[in-house]
Amino acid sequence: MNTPNEQEIHLLIDRVSERLEDPRSSEICNKDVKDGFTIGREILMSRMKETEAYSTIASLSSVRSRSIAMLFYSFVIGDVDAQAIIGIEFII
């Protein structure tokens, strides 16, 4: 994989922002997904470096939310494609 360019990062930020506006994101059963997406978007927006990203991810309360947020960091460094993130669905 290649490190994403600014356009790819902005496109993912926009798509994640749309997903966070989905009414299902407010359901209690989707809290972990929403938390992971929220921190993930912060990672994208600030282009966090490794230490800061790991510290931020570690602050999340569940394995699921930390795993989702880690995908965002993996995207920033070019280890995963945006589809790995976009494919995450809310329950219900």
Q: How confident is the model at residue 92 (pLDDT cuts 50, 70, 90)?
A: confident
Phi and psi angles of residue 35, each rounded to the nearest 5 degrees, phi first: -60, -45
Q: Calculate mean pLDDT across residues 20-36.
A: 96
Question: pLDDT of 39-67, one tens digit each?
Answer: 999 999 999 899 999 999 999 999 999 99
Q: Rg of the chain's alpha carbons, rounded to an integer?
A: 12
How far lies 26's CA from each of 7, 12, 32, 49, 66, in Å?
A: 28, 20, 10, 29, 18
Q: Calculate mean pLDDT across residues 22-50.
A: 95
Q: What is the pTM of this model?
A: 0.92
Buried b (16+ CB within 10 A) or exposed e, 13-30: beebeebbeeeebeeeeb
